[in-house]
Amino acid sequence: MTWSAPIWIYLWLAGMAGGAFVAGFLASRFSGQGQKPLLPMATVVGIPLAVLGVLLLIVDLGRPEWFWHLMTQFKALSPMSMGTWILIAWVMIAFVLVVMWWLDSRVEEQVASLMKRLEGLLAAVNALLSVGLISYTGVLLSVSSQSLWAGTVLLPALFVASAVSTGVAMLVITALAVNWATREGSSFRVSGHTVAMLAEADAIVILIELAVLIGFVIWLVISGATDALGVLFTGAMAAPTWIGVVLLALLIPLGLDMAARGKPLEGGVVRTVLMSSFCVIVGGLILRWVITIGGQM
């Protein structure tokens, strides 16, 4: 099999990094200053995920020492070429943002206000790049001749929904971990209310993902790609698809998020939200696995 573990792990990591950035950016923008720590949190956790993904990609090449050949081309038609540039730009801007956020409290006020505006601009640019990044993880597969991947236009939509869902789940886990590790009043903390809203947002994204998955299946059935679909739902990948994707990535976290909805974030509710987020993240990995491997069968 040409594309194996490094590829599907990479698609999952890049999706999670980009998804968390999009989620952090939207939450901060829509709510004003209230969720300030979310975007830096998404960025700081996202960078190592994206870099690890890139390393996996390079290791998976037949000639890893020639990876720089990628950087001699800019081919709009080749999703891998576009993805390379998006990833490079995303990691660089994310890194600059982290440095600037760190400097914020360490420079004079006039410089700081100028930097704030630049940070806002860079964050918006990277949010757009994140959309490109998470879309690319699906487009990479769908621009091909494998019927499971190319038979519909819904694979990028499915991967995007999963990327945002896993990204939000990662933000929830990170926020809870930071809250647990820091004292009351620390500027790194995220309010319990915000975490609860993230979990609620994830439930809606999961519903969207479920709808896209159903559309994906119906489209493939109508277009006659039932063999490809059979691999996923009744064939070699059936167990991971039903248990990993349908249950772990979608139905179980949806149920858990519903159970936690509207309740104050303490004790058992925290555990429920945490459990839901872990399910989403593991389920997202299994989704990349069954699609990447199933498409080549």
Partner 1 sequence: MAEKAFLFDSTRCTACRGCQAACKQWNEYDEEIPTVENGVDARNRGSYENPPELSPTTWLRMKFTEVERDGKVDWFFTRMACMHCAKASCENVCPTGAISHLEDGFVLIDQQWCIGCGYCVQACPYHVPHKDEHTGTARKCTSCVDRRNAGYEPACVKACPPDALLYDDRDKLLALARQRVQGLRAAGNDRANLYGDTELGGLNVLYILEDDPEIYGLPAEPVLATRNAVGQWLSGVLTAGLITALPFWFLFKRKRELESTGGGAR
Rule CB under 8 A: say whether 35 interacts with partner 1. Answer: yes
CA dist 74 and 119 (Å) reads: 27
Q: Which is nearer to partner 1, 111 or 227 (CB)?
A: 227
* C-beta neighbour count of 97 within 10 angstroms: 22
Min CB(108)–partner 1 separation in Å: 30
Taking CB under 8 A as the criterion, the residue among 55, 67, 122, 278 binding partner 1 is 67
116 counts as binding partner 1 under rule CB under 8 A: no
**Smallest gap from residue 70 Cβ to partner 1 (A):** 5
CA distance 16 to 46: 7
Is residue 3 close enough to count as binding partner 1 by CB under 8 A?
Answer: yes
Nearer to partner 1, 1 or 239 (CB): 1
By CB under 8 A, is residue 52 in contact with partner 1? no
Collect all residues with Cβ–Cβ distance below 8 Å to 1 and sequence separation of at least 6.
293, 296
Among 5, 48, 59, 73, binds partner 1 (CB under 8 A): 73
Distance CA 122, CA 174 (A): 23
Q: Are 172 and 42 in contact (CB under 8 A)?
A: no
6 binds partner 1 (CB under 8 A): no
What torsion, rounded to 10 degrees, do the Cα atoms 15, 246, 41, 269 define? 180
Sign of the Cα torsion 12, 18, 24, 30 reads negative
Least spacing, CB of residue 42 vs partner 1, in Å: 13
Structure tokens at 225: 């790609």
Kindly state the smallest distance separating residue 4's Cβ from partner 1, in Å.
10
**Distances, alpha carbon 136 to alpha carbons 14, 84, 86, 146, 238, in Å:** 9, 10, 9, 17, 26
Q: Of 169-208, which residues contact partner 1 (CB under 8 A)?
A: 193, 197, 200-201, 204-205, 208
Residues that bind partner 1 (CB under 8 A): 2-3, 22-23, 26-27, 30-32, 34-35, 61-64, 66-67, 69-70, 72-73, 75, 77-81, 84, 130-132, 134-136, 138-139, 141-146, 149-150, 153-157, 159-161, 163-164, 193, 197, 200-201, 204-205, 208, 212, 262, 296
